[in-house]
């Protein structure tokens, strides 16, 4: 407890000016704010992801001889991977399916690596961006696994496009 006392002497007719302040709630609030600040500062660094706009800007139009990878996830454990030139011509198209989620992830990683390896070997070509289109029936964990596969293959400009059930 904190108290405030006047410096002068009080006369018998006037009331005392002592006031007691309860500092415990203030200390509790301050400690909770500090804890919240420290926890959110840590999670902001851990959960950050660099995002760039790969479609619709002049920066995307200035790249020459670039490729774009589209991954269309139609249902659980099924996807279609398309590698297109910047002009829109399809260079390679692969359908990936798996009996289980782990088998699907393995086959997808192999298919993407097989598509990216020749492109990385050629100096004139590069994969500028990738777009992942997911159907609402696809589990979130599968979409995250596809994003991980793309990041492991050094594709950094990745977009996610949720498709409607009518498409």
15 assigned to some structural domain? no
- What is the Cα–Cα distance from 166 to 154, expressed in whole angstroms? 33
H/E segment holding residue 61: helix 58-62
Is the Cα torsion angle 94, 100, 103, 108 positive or negative in sign?
Answer: positive
Q: What pLDDT score does 116 carry?
A: 83
38 assigned to some structural domain? no
Q: What pLDDT score does 24 carry?
A: 93
CB 107 within 8 A of CB 98: yes
Q: How many structural domains are present in the chain? A: 1
Distance, CA of 119 to chain centre? 26
pTM recorded for the entire structure: 0.56
135 assigned to some structural domain? yes
- What is the Cα–Cα distance from 25 to 11, expressed in whole angstroms? 34
Q: Which residues contact 113 (CB under 8 A, 6 or more apart)?
A: 153
- Residue-range definition of the domain harbouring residue 145: 58-162
42 assigned to some structural domain? no
Does 167 have pLDDT greater than 50? no
Does 83 have pLDDT greater than 80? yes
Residue 106 tokens, joined? 């393995």
Does 60 have pLDDT greater than 70? no
114 assigned to some structural domain? yes
* Between 133 and 52, residue with greater pLDDT: 133
28 assigned to some structural domain? no
Q: What pLDDT score does 25 carry?
A: 93
- Percent of the chain scoring above 70 in pLDDT: 72
pLDDT in tens, 100-128: 888 888 888 888 888 888 776 766 667 77
Range 77-99 average pLDDT: 83
CATH number of the CATH domain containing 87: 3.30.420.40
145 assigned to some structural domain? yes
């Amino acid at each position: 407890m904190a108290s405030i006392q006047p410096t002068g002497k009080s006369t018998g007719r006037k009331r005392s000016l002592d006031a007691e302040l309860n500092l415990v709630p203030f200390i509790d609030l301050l400690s909770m704010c500090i804890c919240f600040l420290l926890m959110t500062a840590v999670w902001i660094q851990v959960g950050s992801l660099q995002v760039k706009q790969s479609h619709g800007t002049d920066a995307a139009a200035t790249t020459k001889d670039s490729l774009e990878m589209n991954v269309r996830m139609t249902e659980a454990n099924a996807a279609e991977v398309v590698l297109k030139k910047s002009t829109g011509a399809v260079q390679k198209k692969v359908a990936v399916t798996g009996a289980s989620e782990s088998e699907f992830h393995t086959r997808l990683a192999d298919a993407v690596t097989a598509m990216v390896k020749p492109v990385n070997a050629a100096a004139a070509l590069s994969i500028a961006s990738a777009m992942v289109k997911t159907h609402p029936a696809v589990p979130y964990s599968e979409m995250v696994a596809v994003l991980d596969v793309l990041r492991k293959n050094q594709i950094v400009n990745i977009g996610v496009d949720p498709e409607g059930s009518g498409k």
